[in-house]
Structure 1
Amino acid sequence: MKLTMKGDYGLRAMLDMAAYYGQGPIESADIARRQYIPEQYLDQILMALRKEGLVKSVRGPKGGHMLAKPPSQISMAQVMQALEGYVPPMECLPNPDFCKLSPGCALRTVWQQIDEMTQHILTSTTIEELAQKHQTGVLETMYYI
């Protein structure tokens, strides 16, 4: 699986909204600033996440974006699927006819195992877990004098 900037930015935006979950909408400009995401690109990402029911958008002076459900109910796989669809590690996985060696290829079996493990990790890892790890990492890197 190749992770594009779109997927990375989407996950970062979801982590940002998870940190403020339950506190109301967050302006996209604030998410963009904190996560170093170009704001126009972030708006496109948030629109795709909204279409998949992962993000809610609120219009008006106190508007912005927020998670549509608790971060514990959103997996990395859902975010990646919403933004990138399924991206196999090798073209031969979804399309065995792509390669003449596919029927007996030992490498194809390995690529399949890698794909299954990757999908398992993405499916079983929630945005809440990532947000907790992120918070722990931030606290561990703080330096005190």
Structure 2
Amino acid sequence: MKISTKGRYGLTIMMELARRYGEGQMSLKSIAQKHDLSEHYLEQLVAPLRNAGLVKSIRGAYGGYILARTPEEITAGDVIRVLEGPISPVEFEEEEDPAKRDLWMRIRDSISDVLDTTTLQDLISFKGNDNLDSYMFYI
């Protein structure tokens, strides 16, 4: 399974809204400018997110979007499924070999588990391992 720009940019929108959670709405124009993305494309992505109840739109001159739930309540899986559809590495329903079918199901379940246990709050709070001194190399 390859996540397309729909899923990647959709997560970008949701993470920006999560960063602003509780501070008011954010325009797609500001998200597009911040990440050098097409505002028109983001408009196409936010519609299904709104229809799925993940974001709310605020109308008016200073309108924009806000999360419909807290960042702790929305998972990466919620966003990816809305924009990409069901999570599956291959079409395995017709797989005749039970061993391969089991493999595809375990891969699907592992991907789903990671996406469904990673919240927007986890993503915006992530601190990578910036401490390269933690590894000691000897030549």
Both proteins in one fold, TM over 0.5: yes
Unaligned runs of 5+ in 2: 132-139
Unaligned runs of 5+ in 1: 97-101
CA contact (8 A) 1:54 1:69 kept: yes
Q: 109, 130, 134: which is aligned to 2:102?
A: 109
Which deviates further from its counterpart, 121-130 or 31-40? 31-40
Question: Which of structure 1's runs of 4+ aligned residues deviate more than 3 A?
Answer: none
The residue aligned with 2:125 is: 132
The residue aligned with 1:84 is: 84
Query: Greater helix share, 1 or 2?
Result: 1
Report the TM-score, using the length of structure 2 for normalisation. 0.87
CA contact (8 A) 1:26 1:65 kept: yes
CA contact (8 A) 2:15 2:120 kept: yes
Paired residues for 1:63-102 under 5 Å? 63-92=63-92, 95-96=93-94, 102=95
Cα deviations by residue, 1:88-117 (Å, 9 ceiling, x for unpaired): 11112xx32xxxxx2334222212111100
Q: 2: CA distance between counterparts of 1:78 and 1:17?
A: 15
Q: CA deviation at 1:2?
A: 1.6
Cα deviations by residue, 1:78-97 (Å, 9 ceiling, x for unpaired): 101111110411112xx32x
The residue aligned with 2:17 is: 17
The residue aligned with 1:121 is: 114
How many matched pairs?
A: 130
CA contact (8 A) 2:87 2:112 kept: no
Q: 2: CA distance between counterparts of 1:10 and 1:84?
A: 10
- SS of residue paired to 2:26: coil
Q: 2: CA distance between counterparts of 1:87 and 1:124?
A: 14
Report the TM-score, using the length of structure 1 for normalisation. 0.83
The sequence identity of aligned pairs, in percent, is: 37
Paired residues for 1:21-36 under 5 Å? 21-36=21-36
**RMSD of aligned residue pairs (Cα, Å):** 1.6
CA contact (8 A) 1:7 1:80 kept: yes
Q: 2: CA distance between counterparts of 1:74 and 1:87?
A: 17
